[in-house]
Structure 1
Amino acid sequence: MFRWILFFVFVILVEVYAFQAIRTVTRLRWVLYAYQIISFIIIMYIAYSFTQFDRSVGQNKQTLFTFGLLLLTYVPKMVIAIVMFGEDIVRFFFGVMREFLGNSNESFLIERRKFVSQAALGLAAIPFVSLLYGMTKGKYNFQVRKKTLYFADLPESFDGMTITQISDVHSGSFDNPDEISHAIDLINQQKSDIILFTGDIVNTHAEEMHPWIETFKRIENPPLGKFSVLGNHDYGEYVTWPTNKDKEDNFNAIKDLHRQIDFKLLLNEHVKLERNGQQIALVGVENWGHNFKKAGDLGKASKGLTPEDFKILMSHDPSHWEMEVKQSHNNYHLTLSGHTHGLQFGIEIPGLIKWSPVQYVYKQWAGLYEHLGRYVYVNRGFGFHAYPGRVGIWPEITVLELKKGEKIA
Structure 2
Amino acid sequence: MKNDRINRRTFLKKSLYAVESLAILTGVSGLYGIFGERYWIQSTTVRLAYRRYPSSFAGVRIVQFSDTHIGKYYSLEQMNKVVDLLQRQEPDIICFTGDLFDSKFGEVSDEVIPILSRLRAGMGKFAVLGNHDMRLDGNRVRDVLERSGFTVLVNESRSIKRGNGRIKVVGIDEMFYGNPDLPLALQGVQRDDFVLLLAHEPDFADTSLASQVDLQLSGHSHGGQIRIPLYGSIFTPDLGQKYPIGLYAFEGSEFHVYTNRGIGTTLFPIRFNCRPEITVFVLETKLPKA
Q: In the comparison of the two structures, how many residue pairs are matched? A: 278
Looking at structure 2, the residues matched to 354 and 401 of structure 1 have their Cα atoms a distance apart, in angstroms, of 31
| 8 A Cα contact 1:170 1:202, kept in partner | yes
Looking at structure 2, the residues matched to 176 and 198 of structure 1 have their Cα atoms a distance apart, in angstroms, of 19
Q: Deviations over 1:214-253 (max 9, x none)?
A: 2222112x1211010011111117xxxxxxxxxxxx3321
* Equivalent position of 2:79 in the other structure: 180
The one-letter code matched in structure 1 to 2:41 is F
Q: Deviations over 1:51-90 (max 9, x none)?
A: xxxxxxxxxxxxxxxxxxxxxxxxxxxxxxxxxxxxxxxx
Inter-CA distance 294–255: structure 2 relative to 1 (3 Å threshold): closer
In structure 1, list runs of 5 or more residues that go unmatched.
1-105, 238-249
* Equivalent position of 1:126 in the other structure: 25
| 8 A Cα contact 2:160 2:167, kept in partner | yes
For 1:291-330, list aligned pairs within 5 A: 292-293=176-177, 295-322=179-206, 324-326=207-209, 328=210, 330=211
Looking at structure 1, the residues matched to 187 and 132 of structure 2 have their Cα atoms a distance apart, in angstroms, of 26
Structure with the bigger percentage of strand: 2
Looking at structure 2, the residues matched to 198 and 175 of structure 1 have their Cα atoms a distance apart, in angstroms, of 17
* Equivalent position of 2:113 in the other structure: 213
Inter-CA distance 281–177: structure 2 relative to 1 (3 Å threshold): closer
Looking at structure 2, the residues matched to 269 and 207 of structure 1 have their Cα atoms a distance apart, in angstroms, of 27
* Equivalent position of 2:268 in the other structure: 387
Q: Does 1:357 align with 2:257?
A: no
SS at match of 1:271: strand
Over alpha carbons, which structure has the higher Rg? 1
* Equivalent position of 1:60 in the other structure: none
| 8 A Cα contact 1:147 1:401, kept in partner | yes
| 8 A Cα contact 1:379 1:396, kept in partner | yes
Displacement, 1:185?
0.9
Inter-CA distance 373–295: structure 2 relative to 1 (3 Å threshold): same
Structure with the bigger percentage of helix: 1
Q: Deviations over 1:79-121 (max 9, x none)?
A: xxxxxxxxxxxxxxxxxxxxxxxxxxx9xxx787121122022
* Equivalent position of 2:166 in the other structure: 279
Query: Please, what TM-score do these two structures have when normalized by structure 1?
Result: 0.63
| 8 A Cα contact 1:173 1:383, kept in partner | no
| 8 A Cα contact 2:68 2:264, kept in partner | yes
Aligned residues: CA RMSD: 2.7
In structure 2, list runs of 5 or more residues that go unmatched.
none
Looking at structure 2, the residues matched to 146 and 347 of structure 1 have their Cα atoms a distance apart, in angstroms, of 24
Query: Please, what TM-score do these two structures have when normalized by structure 2?
Result: 0.87
* Equivalent position of 1:59 in the other structure: none
Inter-CA distance 388–359: structure 2 relative to 1 (3 Å threshold): closer
When structure 1 is superposed on structure 2, of 268-277 and 356-365 the one drifting more is: 356-365
SS at match of 1:117: helix
* Equivalent position of 2:283 in the other structure: 402
**Which of 358, 368, 393 in structure 1 is aligned with 2:247?**
368
| 8 A Cα contact 2:70 2:76, kept in partner | no
The one-letter code matched in structure 2 to 1:219 is L
Inter-CA distance 275–260: structure 2 relative to 1 (3 Å threshold): same
For 1:202-281, list aligned pairs within 5 A: 202-204=101-103, 207-220=107-120, 222-236=121-135, 250-281=137-168
Q: With CA pairs under 8 Å and 6+ residues apart, which has the higher RCO, 1 or 2?
A: 2
Looking at structure 2, the residues matched to 158 and 119 of structure 1 have their Cα atoms a distance apart, in angstroms, of 57
SS at match of 1:135: helix
The one-letter code matched in structure 1 to 2:151 is K
**Which of 326, 329, 335 in structure 1 is aligned with 2:216?**
335
Q: Deviations over 1:306-356 (max 9, x none)?
A: 44321000000011113x111x1x3210000000002211157xxxx7932
Looking at structure 2, the residues matched to 395 and 182 of structure 1 have their Cα atoms a distance apart, in angstroms, of 13
The one-letter code matched in structure 2 to 1:384 is T
| 8 A Cα contact 1:172 1:209, kept in partner | no
For 1:16-27, list aligned pairs within 5 A: none
Looking at structure 1, the residues matched to 248 and 217 of structure 2 have their Cα atoms a distance apart, in angstroms, of 11
Give me the identity figure in percent: 33
Q: Deviations over 1:276-317 (max 9, x none)?
A: 1321111101112xxx34521111111122443210000000
